[in-house]
Structure 1
């Protein structure tokens, strides 16, 4: 398992920068109600969640920011971050669908905003904790 962890890593500063960009987009949606913002989040989370992160606009912008500000490299285990991106994808899809149905998405967008703030500003990845909690269950039923 340790060999896999060594291979499947991502820079924590890149992840936190992406989360900050998500935070900005989520706050933008809460302030404006502009449908394009959650649609952008659906696309971006989808790319990162389903292993096409190299095409993610937010990941690319994050790479530029990390380089511009000379953030250090701090490798962290990638699979929990991918799981968290999948949760973000589900939240973004929910926001978009609710908006299109004319139902207020403020609570769902607020929750996404809160967790993006936790990750970006405090380095706390709630999705990663859920991943760690579910991992033994997945192993037991053969999903990992």
Structure 2
């Protein structure tokens, strides 16, 4: 069954007309979800540092060096998952959101505000879960909201 995507506009989500594999992106989001859950179970702060580095690589268009992206590419090949084209820009925007959330959460942890950091980890898990399971880009929703508020 082929999924038909509605055309997105720059008002709804950033676009750059460069396509990437949405299925690989969804695997990457799944790894983010699992990594964040692993942090919440273990408390190892270096997991969040790892996520910060990984998000940063993807946010600055160096996804070919992102460990989670590489792992997702391997999973897509091994499982013979089809190529589902999607625009790269919304995914980069989402990576920037993940980078900022990870940076702030890590700073909060180091400053001793673990309760506030916990909220950010839950938010990161929610966003990555929605992308991984439902292909719902929370970044697009945030982007549209920012665009709408900036016009007022």
**Partner secondary structure for residue 122 of structure 2:** helix
User: Which ranges in structure 2 are unaligned for 5 or more consecutive residues?
Assistant: 1-8, 10-14
Give the Å deviation of 1:52: 1.0
Q: How many residues align?
A: 136
* Structure 1 length-normalised TM: 0.87
More helix per residue: 1 or 2? 1
1:131 matched to which residue of 2?
143
Give the Å deviation of 1:7: 4.7
Note if contact 2:52-2:103 (Cα within 8 Å) is conserved in structure 1: yes
Note if contact 2:22-2:85 (Cα within 8 Å) is conserved in structure 1: yes
* Structure 2 length-normalised TM: 0.82
User: Which ranges in structure 1 are unaligned for 5 or more consecutive residues?
Assistant: none
CA distance in 2 between partners of 1:10 and 1:136 (Å): 27
CA distance in 1 between partners of 2:20 and 2:148 (Å): 23
